[in-house]
Amino acid sequence: MPEMTLPQFLLKNAREHPTASALREKEKGIWQEWSWADYLGHVRAFALGLVSLGFGRDDKLAILSDNRPQVYAAMVAAQVVGGIPVPVFQDAIAREIQYVIDHADATIVFAEDQEQVDKILELKGSLPKVAKLIYEDPKGLRHYADPLLMSLEKLEELGRKLDGERPGLFEELVRSTKSHDVALICYTSGTTGAPKGAMISHANLVSAIQGILEVEHYGRTDQMLAYLPPAWIGDTFWSLAGSLIVGCTVNCPERPETVLENLREIGPHFMIAPPRIWENLVSTVQIKMADASWAKRRLYTWLMPAGEEAARRAMEKRPLSLRLRILHALGEFLVFAPLRDQLGFRRTRYAYTGGAPLGPEIFLFFRSLGINLKQVYGQTEAGGVSCVQRDGDIKLGTVGKPFPNTEVRLTETGEVISRSPCVFVGYYKNPEATIATLRDGWLYSGDAALFDQDGHLIVIDRAKDVTALADSTKFAPQFIENKLKFSPYIKEAVAVGQDRPYVGAMVNIDMENVGKWAERRQIAYTTYTDLAQKTEVYDLIAEEVERVNRDLPDGTRINKYVLLHKELDPDDEEVTRTRKVRRGFVAKKYADIIEALYSEARSVGVIAVITYQDGRQATVRTELAIRQVGAARELAGV
């Protein structure tokens, strides 16, 4: 199987199962379907259209779009002619888009609609290598006359014309694709600098899917939801490579805003989501329960602990008492099954979390509901996923064991290194980074971890982020942050304390949930900044911080915290597009606030420029309160 390429899998599926459902998209309230024959037809027309434009081997096709059937067709079409697709985060700001497209040497850009077309046209002067801009949705583009533009419809017309003139050319191109060809350039999130373009071959992707198929079972009748950014390797792993190899159906949501609604409609058989999605789902449940009737709230608070205890015992392979079995059965009937159905997990066989560690409380919450949530671990450079928790052998806080085709070791310093056929080719135009990451066939991850006595991998944090207080007490900021984010009222957190006397935290409140909480208590507010600085909100977050402190080792408890005046935002470079904190940048930008956490000051003044979605900017001047945590104060003797 690793010898086959993704276009060859498409051809195989279309020949063996031409009428089976391959891709579905909800459009104007109706699910539109592509069969495998339709999928192949679009790829054929797109690929030969690219040939007509002179696009060929090693040329790059940048893709700027939400999840659409045409996105996956575009990726395979580029691969058919020996070219390389380069998906770009569709919500990226102009500078990020320009960097990726230009660095990748893309000659053609495929854009979804007018919004994305406008971004490229504004950048045209700084994208000298781009020769053509293909758009899929013509709405709003009727009067655009730029020679760079071409509709997807026109491109496919060119392809069908060439197909008629040279029958058999498409099949010849598919046969000529090789497993060692680069199938994708996937740019990393760039937490510490400019994103790097990871070159991933067909063999890498096929081996990664083969690795998980040796552990899990997927079938042609399975349904999945493609809602993660196409530029993230997690989406490519499942929605592109996984669907082509397994032959399952990929469903694209109507809009990003309708993902949860579409999730309930589809009831996918398997799903992967980063921690942020699982955290949001927990917040949704908690807030809805707070607004529910007295009877529903009572049932929830009575039976959820039984679900958690049953889930914990199952993971620890301990039997359930008769009382717990009865309570769990009641919970399944009255709470767990209805919640699974409401969330869209009624027939989910596997649910995965990856991209970053998930807080144990959140993980246990979903296991309590009977959702088979499992932690996966991997990297863009390893094809996406290389470790997974096995059914019947799930341990809280671990990422499971490596795939059968993957070897994982720890260096003397505790860094995770791996070796497998999934490991990438190298970084595009960055041999120095390639040499630093790939050594003697081993991929150096940069993650600090350890193995438990049963061989389960426990990822602690990024090796560079594991730090120590002034008294040499070690702590992992991400571990503390994940525990804070279990709260429905905390959207993001940054723990600090390197070479300091104690741990401090900068917290983003969850505007929606805290806003509802404030409204129920008739607390008036105007803006995010105003709400975050309310004394009542500080008291609310104090309870959450103290909850976290109870579970932390003595020396690493949070002593002081501050509620930030704005959300950490990818557009402000504070977090990546995959919501990973850019710690170095945040430490510099918020240096005054961090210093205030380690002073006697009770507040700190900030002046910040806020950029709104419509591009308008406003200057915010405010005082942020510095709050000391009661439990931490007693422990510190202050």
583-617, pLDDT tens digit by residue? Answer: 889 999 999 999 999 999 999 998 877 665 556 67
The pLDDT of residue 191 is 60
**Token pair in block for residue 161:** 């014309």
Span of 21-30, 65-74, 177-186, 613-622 with lowest mean pLDDT = 613-622
Mean pLDDT, the chain, integer: 91
Nearest residue to 587 via CA among 495, 509, 472 = 495
pLDDT band at residue 635 using 50, 70 and 90 as cut-offs: very low
What does the DSSP assignment read for 26-84?
Answer: EETTEEEEEEHHHHHHHHHHHHHHHHHTT--TT-EEEEE-SS-HHHHHHHHHHHHTT-E
If you average pLDDT over residues 324-347, what whole number do you get? 94
Fold of 467-636: GMP Synthetase; Chain A, domain 3 (3.30.300)
pLDDT band at residue 393 using 50, 70 and 90 as cut-offs: very high
Domain ranges of the chain: 6-268, 270-346+348-377, 467-636
Side-chain half-sphere exposure of 58, counting CA atoms within 13 A: 1
Full strand arrangement of the beta sheet holding 373-377: 270-273, 350-353, 373-377, 387-388, 401-402
**Token pair in block for residue 533:** 């600085």
555 pLDDT exceeds 90? Answer: no
- Whole-angstrom distance, CA of residue 313 vs CA of residue 385: 27
If you average pLDDT over residues 272-286, what whole number do you get? 87
Backbone torsions φ then ψ of 122, nearest 5 degrees: -65, -30
**What angle do helix axes 6-16 and 36-52 make, rounded to 10 degrees?**
140
* Yes or no: domain 6-268 corresponds to CATH 3.10.20.30: no
The pLDDT of residue 464 is 81
Residue 441, class by beta-carbon neighbours within 10 Å (0-12 exposed, 13-18 middle, 19+ buried)?
exposed
The pLDDT of residue 638 is 41
Q: How much of the chain exceeds pLDDT 70, in percent? A: 97
Nearest residue to 279 via CA among 504, 476, 483 = 483
Nearest residue to 573 via CA among 194, 197, 256, 98 = 194
The 10s digit of each residue's pLDDT in 207-243 is 999 999 999 999 999 999 999 999 999 899 999 999 9
633 pLDDT exceeds 60? Answer: no
- Whole-angstrom distance, CA of residue 580 vs CA of residue 565: 19
The pLDDT of residue 396 is 86
For residues 41 and 268, the answer to whether their CB atoms sit within 8 Å is: no
- Whole-angstrom distance, CA of residue 388 vs CA of residue 377: 6
**Token pair in block for residue 380:** 């863009």
What count of other Cβ atoms lies within 10 Å of the Cβ of residue 464?
13
What count of other Cβ atoms lies within 10 Å of the Cβ of residue 164?
9
The 10s digit of each residue's pLDDT in 496-538 is 999 999 999 999 999 988 998 999 899 999 989 999 999 999 9
The pLDDT of residue 614 is 57
For residues 14 and 36, the answer to whether their CB atoms sit within 8 Å is: yes
The pLDDT of residue 637 is 45
The 10s digit of each residue's pLDDT in 109-135 is 999 999 999 999 999 999 999 999 999
Please list the residues that pair with 230 across neighbouring strands. Answer: none
The 10s digit of each residue's pLDDT in 23-64 is 999 988 899 999 999 999 999 999 999 999 999 999 999 999
Beta pairing, strands 474-475 & 503-509: unpaired
The 10s digit of each residue's pLDDT in 190-207 is 666 688 999 999 999 999
**What angle do helix axes 294-315 and 275-291 make, rounded to 10 degrees?**
140
Q: How much of the chain exceeds pLDDT 90, in percent? A: 73
